[in-house]
Amino acid sequence: MRTRLGASTDELTAGELADGEHRVISGSVLSGRKAMGEIDGFLGRYHHQISVIRVNYLNPERLHKNPAFSHVVTIESPHRTIYVGGQNAVDDAGAIIGNGDVAAQTKQVCRNLQVALAAAGAGAEHVVKWTVCLVQGQPIHAAFAAAQEALGTLPNPPTLSVLQVAGLAHPDFLVEIDAIAVLP
């Protein structure tokens, strides 16, 4: 299936949007072939450039699966924006790594972030925003040092928000990090 970015209205047809695929066109969300068929007439009346945005939901094989959320969402337009959901210190089987050790947990979280970013074709160098949730009472410097060791020094450090929280999704989780990345 092709993705058309900035396709003219004459080029956009119902056959280009598969069932279950979502795109935003001129501010409206379209889902599947039925929606495209309903707007074919509308699009046929206008001959201007429109932007087609494709939204993809990814769950990399090397990350623990949870039916409640996707690990990565990408948005493709003239550029690709990648949203990585909060990663915790679990291995691909769901076992907690580094119980009671914020540095060990942070390293596992960073490994999970790298897997998630790679699934979308990105790396830490593409991240424009990190959000770190750290359980109150955990040493912030230990978490930062572990993250820097795992991710390396970035030439253009992204924006960063650090939140101290009362708890996370599991009582043994000490740190959670999510990311927003952009690819040209």
Mean pLDDT (10-residue bins), the chain, 184 residues: 36 42 46 46 51 87 90 90 97 97 98 97 95 97 94 87 97 98 92
138 touches 174 (CB < 8 A): yes
pTM over 0.95: no
Domains observed in the chain: 14-54 (no CATH), 59-183 (3.30.1330.40)
Q: How far is 124 from 117, CA to CA, in rounded Å? A: 7
Q: What is the pLDDT, as a whole number, of residue 180?
A: 97
Given the structure tokens 């949730």, which residue do they identify? Answer: 133
CA distances to 4, 17, 173 from 23, rounded to whole Å, are: 10, 8, 35
